[in-house]
């Protein structure tokens, strides 16, 4: 019974971690075809901004988290305008040498990986130069829940709850709002969307901003439980990456399902081997197998099964 | 016409060699290039006399790693973050075997084993991916994930149970006390390359002491570079390029694309493993940092800046960037590196060397006819 | 006059007057993969051009071939066959499934049901590159030459696995010349005009010495002169090399110039088959084009 509870908590932990890590990345990858290897560093921005908001500006934690997310979102928009779409450099280029200087990174998967990795290097090192090797942390709120001889941080339960909220909110935005419709139209067929009057440039910019904001939110949420170092983004990156790709084309459902599956694998192995390291390894191996055997990701697989079912006998 | 005189026959042989080394798939196909190449090699040979050969040899070793990615990415279109996996596997294998067999024969065998095991690892991963129909960006992601798996795994091999024979894997702290690289056959002939000095008599400078490992690494690099040039300009090399350009179309010409990718990936893996073996031998130490994400991305940086479709670009960029990174102390180096990468991939996605080569020559015509290295060549200057 | 006679003769039997020699190459059924288990011992495996004037052999046959995409049936239990040396045109309204059928034959699409036989051997599960080595070659709808490579490098790629040295150079030069691109050897393929790219790609597909050449809209977007050139090329390849063709085209004049026989596809199945005159005068065919009931 106790072990079952342990397992349940480990699962919630893994699930929340994967979903929150992946949310922002999934949106950017799914919609813009850009792989943001600086995603971990966006989380860093959110975490640091939140921490500073508390330690330097004395804001209460929830407010600080909002601040952290917003800062990251704005930063993301700045990045989008300069590096991803090349808007600013090209604007400069048009006025100086009369031509575009760079091409947008949309749908250039390999190039976007390399470029954003460069960005992440700059960000991590800048953080180290500006703020040193670590900064003062924010304490974990809420205390613990006790059961048997174990106790579990209540805050981590909160995180699990928030991760579900994020999924629900994303689903709502995608399917129920005008903005969401525009986004899905652009995702499906950019040319047609443009022809129908959708400002695809602005959609991309806002989407990247939202994805960055979500990354910032993740950083903000995890700030109380992590050690604040410039490299804190690393632990999120691979899991996020893997969850996005294993999830497949459907942004919300894919993230939810891969969070569930990968979280379950990780939690089970962690429970059995008593080692989070092996849990992590198991998660990564499971992801490799998923990529090999389910080339469209989980939701891609579901779609294929559904269409095959449609074909009838 | 190919001349009938004796010099014509010599020219024929030289032209044949050049014919193998040249082609549309590499930059530098003129006599001018080869002269410049010879000068550069000579300069590298002379370098230890004026500079620090001991530290420079690291860049030569890493250039092999860069070459391996150039082969795999630039020439068959597989963006692999996993070259460091084979690098690390090669290094660790060398360490394990040589610690257990610390005599020259054993160490030589260890070096060979390292390369072979690295190649086999690449073959297995390649088979898993390519024959499983995994495509494009998913291949890249799998290679990235495999790097992470190895890093996570090796970092926790700290306990004493993680020992192979006499060699403890050492977990996060790595595997120290790797035997000094002494190659040869025990009791017959052997030479120690690491932590040894070679005395050379240089006319004009007298007797100089140099680091023999430097020359070992240089020889390996030059051999690998020339060998790869032959490979990519061969028939197989042309198929590799076709696969890179349009793998579906290439399959429709009767080529087994999966096999081409697997072979290229395996050769690339073996080359990366060779680099790893030399790396471990040079440092007499290896640790899981070789599997870290930032290190896995370094080859991508080198090759992106140098020009992924250019072997020469990979070599020059690796040496240049690493020299810069390790000589400029402090965190600013990485900031500059990251910014460099950003600027390059956005402004010059093809890389430096092809851009320069394009500016210099327009397009230099290779010595022999483009078709066939075996044909009697018209030696023409571009 | 004489072309009519030539064409009916060619369609009636594999022409014995083929002069060109077949190169050294692994023959159809003992292909690169080396497996031979599905060979039907009752069917002679005579590649086109080598038969000595006997009855025509069926080169390609599909048996109840089906392809579905989700709920949509693109290929509906198709029984389709082509003889050695036959020049067949495949026509039909948009969406009839013509390209799909060709892709099933060459192997870039996997069937949902049914079988395909080529040269007496079942190839339903064979990889595309193995089918190509067995003698099927295809030019796709969208011209896909290697844009970054020169014309010569493009032409060399299919040929280099068939020949070496002087023979290789001869074939490359021949392919380039037949495509009308002599003098363009070092031009980057992406710099060629659309028509030139089509010619190059047809040449590349033909240089594999196939027995069956599939062309998906070879003259789309070409001028009248260019169309005539290509029609001539196709007829020549058919006559001199004995290559069988399946050509998808919408231009009825073009079809009339080259076809031995015509298959009309409609809604994924064979609607009519016959000579071009029979098809042209068939009111049912006209109706499906104009969108009447099925």
CA separation, residue A82 to residues A77, A99, A233, B342 (Å):
9, 16, 22, 11
Neighbours of chain C (3+ CB pairs under 8 A): A, B
pLDDT score at A148: 65
Please give the pLDDT value at position C22: 38
Asked whether residue C94 carries a pLDDT value surpassing 50, the answer given is: yes
**Is residue B380's pLDDT more than 70?**
no
| Chains A–B, number of C-beta pairs less than 8 Å apart | 116
CB-based contact B92:B286 (threshold 8 Å): yes
Please indicate whether, in this complex, the C-beta atoms of A83 and B144 are within 8 angstroms of each other. no
pLDDT at B217: 95
Q: Which fold has domain C57-145+210-294?
A: Rossmann fold (3.40.50)
Q: What is the pTM of this model?
A: 0.84
Residue C54, pLDDT above cutoff 50: no
Question: Looking at CA atoms only, how far is residue C126 from chain A in angstroms?
Answer: 21
Q: Range(s) for CATH 3.40.50.300 in chain C?
A: 57-145+210-294
pLDDT reading at A107 higher than 80: no
Name chain A contacts of B145, Cβ cutoff 8 Å: 238, 241-242, 284, 287-288, 291
| Any domain includes A227 | yes
Classify residue A283: in a domain, yes or no. no
Residue B25 has pLDDT above 90, yes or no: no
Two tokens, residue C293: 């009931």
**Structural domain boundaries, residue A136:** 2-247
Using a CB–CB cutoff of 8 Å, tell me whether B159 touches chain A: no
Q: What is the pLDDT of residues B186-205, one digit of tens each?
A: 888 888 888 888 888 878 87
Q: Which residues of chain C neighbour A296 with C-beta distances below 8 Å?
A: none
Neighbours of A269 (CB within 10 A): 22
pLDDT in tens, B232-278: 999 999 999 999 999 889 999 999 999 999 999 999 999 999 999 99
Span of A91-95, A198-202, B88-92, C124-128 with lowest mean pLDDT: A198-202
Q: Which two tokens stand for residue B347?
A: 């402004």
Helices and strands in chain C, H and E counts: 10, 10
Comparing A90 with C1, the larger pLDDT belongs to A90
Task: Please provide the DSSP assignment of A203-253 as one string.
Answer: HHHHHHHHHHHHHHHHHHHHGGGS---TTTTHHHHHHHHHHHHHH-S-HHH
**Does C169 lie at the interface with B, CB-CB under 8 angstroms?**
yes
How much is the pLDDT for B282? 93
Q: Can you give the residue ranges of every domain in chain B? A: 63-291, 293-361
- Taking the CA of residue C197 and the nearest CA in chain A, the distance in Å comes to 26
Give the span between the Cα atoms of B361 and B36, in whole angstroms: 14
Residue A97 inside a domain? The answer is yes
Query: Least CA distance to A307: which residue of chain C?
Result: C70
**Largest pairwise CA distance in chain A:** 71
Least confident of A87-91, B1-5, C183-187: B1-5
Residue B280's pLDDT band (cuts 50, 70, 90): very high
- Provide the mean pLDDT of chain B: 84
ipTM of the complex: 0.82
Quick one: closest CA in A to C67, which residue?
Answer: A311
Question: Is B380:B5 a contact under the CB 8 Å cutoff?
Answer: no
Chain A contact for B317 (CB, 8 A cutoff): no
Q: Is C13's pLDDT higher than 70?
A: no
Going by pLDDT thresholds of 50, 70 and 90, the confidence category of residue B362 is: low
Which pLDDT score is estimated for A163?
87
For C192-233, how does the pLDDT look when each residue is reduced to its tens digit (9 = 90+)?
Answer: 988 889 889 999 999 999 999 999 999 888 888 889 989 999
The number of folded domains in chain A is: 1
The answer on pLDDT for B375 being more than 80 is: no
Highest mean pLDDT: which range of A191-195, B44-48, C243-247 = C243-247
Residue A120 placed within a domain: yes
Q: How far is CA C138 from CA A37, A293, B151, C212, in A?
A: 40, 30, 46, 8
Q: Is the pLDDT of residue C55 over 70?
A: no
Residue A188 lies in a domain: yes
CB pair distance less than 8 Å for B254 and C133: yes
Is residue A164, in this structure, part of any structural domain at all?
yes
């Amino acid at each position: 019974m106790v072990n079952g509870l342990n397992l349940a908590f480990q699962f919630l932990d893994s699930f929340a971690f994967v979903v929150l890590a992946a949310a922002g990345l999934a949106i950017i990858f799914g919609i813009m075809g850009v792989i943001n290897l600086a995603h971990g560093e966006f989380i860093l921005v959110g975490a640091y901004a939140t921490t500073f908001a508390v330690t330097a500006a004395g804001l209460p934690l929830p407010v600080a988290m909002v601040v952290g997310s917003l800062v990251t979102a704005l930063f993301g928009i700045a990045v989008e305008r300069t590096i991803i779409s090349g808007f600013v450099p090209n604007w400069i280029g048009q006025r100086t040498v009369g031509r575009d200087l760079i091409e947008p990174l949309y749908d250039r998967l390999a190039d976007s990986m390399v470029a954003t990795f460069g960005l992440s290097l700059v960000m991590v090192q800048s953080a180290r130069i500006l703020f040193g090797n670590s900064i003062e942390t924010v304490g974990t709120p809420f205390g613990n829940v006790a059961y048997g001889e174990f106790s579990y941080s209540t805050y981590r339960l909160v995180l699990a709850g928030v991760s579900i909220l994020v999924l629900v909110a994303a689903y709502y935005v995608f399917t129920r709002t005008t903005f969401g419709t525009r986004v899905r139209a652009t995702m499906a067929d950019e040319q047609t969307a443009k022809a129908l009057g959708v400002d695809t440039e602005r959609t991309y910019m806002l989407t990247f901003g939202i994805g960055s904001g979500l990354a910032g939110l993740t950083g903000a949420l995890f700030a109380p439980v992590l050690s604040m170092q410039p490299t804190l983004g690393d632990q999120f990156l691979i899991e996020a990456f893997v969850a996005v790709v294993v999830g497949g084309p459907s942004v919300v459902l894919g993230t939810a399902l891969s969070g569930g599956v990968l979280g379950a694998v990780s939690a089970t192995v962690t429970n059995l081997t008593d080692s989070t390291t092996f849990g992590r390894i198991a998660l990564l191996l499971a992801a490799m197998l998923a990529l090999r055997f389910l080339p469209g990701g989980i939701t891609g697989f579901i779609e294929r099964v559904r269409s095959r079912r449609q074909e009838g006998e | 016409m190919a001349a009938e005189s004796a010099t014509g026959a010599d020219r024929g042989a030289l032209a044949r060699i050049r014919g193998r080394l040249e082609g549309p798939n590499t930059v530098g196909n003129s006599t001018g290039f080869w002269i410049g190449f010879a000068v550069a090699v000579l300069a590298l040979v002379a370098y230890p006399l004026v500079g620090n050969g001991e530290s420079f040899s690291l860049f030569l070793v890493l250039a092999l790693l860069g070459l391996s990615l150039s082969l795999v990415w630039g020439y068959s279109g597989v963006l692999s973050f996993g070259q460091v996996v084979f690098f690390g596997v090669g290094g660790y294998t060398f360490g394990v075997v040589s610690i257990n067999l610390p005599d020259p024969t054993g160490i030589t065998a260890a070096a060979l084993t390292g390369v072979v095991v690295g190649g086999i690892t690449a073959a297995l991963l390649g088979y898993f991916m390519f024959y499983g129909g995994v495509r494009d960006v998913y291949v890249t992601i799998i290679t990235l994930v495999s790097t992470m798996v190895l890093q996570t795994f090796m970092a926790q091999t700290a306990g004493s149970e993680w020992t192979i024979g006499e060699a403890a894997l050492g977990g996060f702290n790595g595997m120290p006390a790797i035997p000094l690289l002494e190659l040869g056959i025990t009791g017959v002939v052997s030479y120690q390359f690491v932590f040894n000095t070679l005395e050379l008599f240089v006319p004009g400078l007298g007797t100089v002491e140099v680091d023999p490992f430097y020359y070992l690494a240089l020889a390996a690099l030059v051999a690998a570079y020339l060998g790869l040039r032959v490979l990519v300009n061969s028939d197989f090399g042309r198929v590799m390029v076709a696969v890179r350009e349009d793998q579906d179309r290439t399959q429709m010409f009767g080529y087994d694309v999966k096999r081409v990718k697997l072979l290229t990936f395996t050769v690339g893996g073996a080359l990366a493993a060779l680099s790893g073996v030399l790396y471990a031998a040079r440092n007499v130490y290896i640790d899981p940092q070789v599997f870290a994400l930032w290190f896995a991305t370094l080859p991508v940086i080198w090759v992106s800046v140098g020009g992924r479709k250019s072997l020469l670009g990979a070599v020059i960029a690796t040496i240049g960037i690493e020299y810069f990174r390790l000589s400029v102390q402090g965190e600013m180096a990485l900031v500059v590196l990251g910014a460099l990468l950003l600027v390059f991939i956005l402004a010059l996605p093809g890389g430096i060397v092809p851009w320069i080569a394009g500016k210099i020559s327009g397009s230099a015509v290779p010595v022999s006819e483009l078709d066939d290295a075996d044909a009697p060549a018209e030696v023409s200057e571009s | 006059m004489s072309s009519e006679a030539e064409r009916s003769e060619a369609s009636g039997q594999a022409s014995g007057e083929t002069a060109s020699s077949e190169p050294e190459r692994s023959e159809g059924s003992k292909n690169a993969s080396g497996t031979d288990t599905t060979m039907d011992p009752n069917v002679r495996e005579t590649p086109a051009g080598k038969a000595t004037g006997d009855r025509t052999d069926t080169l390609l046959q599909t048996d109840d071939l089906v392809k579905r995409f989700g709920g949509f049936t693109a290929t509906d239990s198709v029984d389709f066959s082509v003889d050695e040396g036959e020049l067949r045109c495949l026509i039909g309204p948009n969406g009839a499934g013509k390209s799909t059928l060709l892709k099933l034959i060459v192997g870039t699409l996997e069937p949902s049901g049914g079988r395909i036989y080529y040269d007496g051997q079942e190839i339903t599960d064979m990889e595309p590159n193995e089918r190509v080595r067995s003698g099927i070659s295809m030019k796709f709808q969208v011209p896909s030459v290697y844009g970054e490579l020169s014309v010569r490098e493009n032409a060399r790629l299919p040929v280099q696995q068939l020949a070496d040295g002087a023979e290789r150079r001869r074939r490359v030069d021949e392919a380039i010349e037949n495509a009308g691109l002599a003098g363009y050897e070092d031009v980057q393929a992406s710099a060629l005009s659309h028509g030139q790219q089509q010619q190059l790609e047809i040449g590349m597909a033909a240089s594999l010495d196939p027995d069956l050449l599939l062309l998906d809209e070879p003259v789309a977007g070409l001028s009248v002169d260019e169309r005539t050139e290509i029609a001539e090329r196709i007829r020549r390849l058919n006559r001199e090399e004995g290559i069988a063709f399946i050509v998808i085209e919408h231009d009825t004049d073009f079809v009339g110039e080259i076809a031995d026989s015509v298959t009309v596809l409609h809604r994924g199945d064979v609607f009519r088959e016959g000579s071009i005159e029979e098809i042209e005068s068939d009111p049912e065919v006209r109706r499906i084009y104009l969108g009447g009931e099925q």
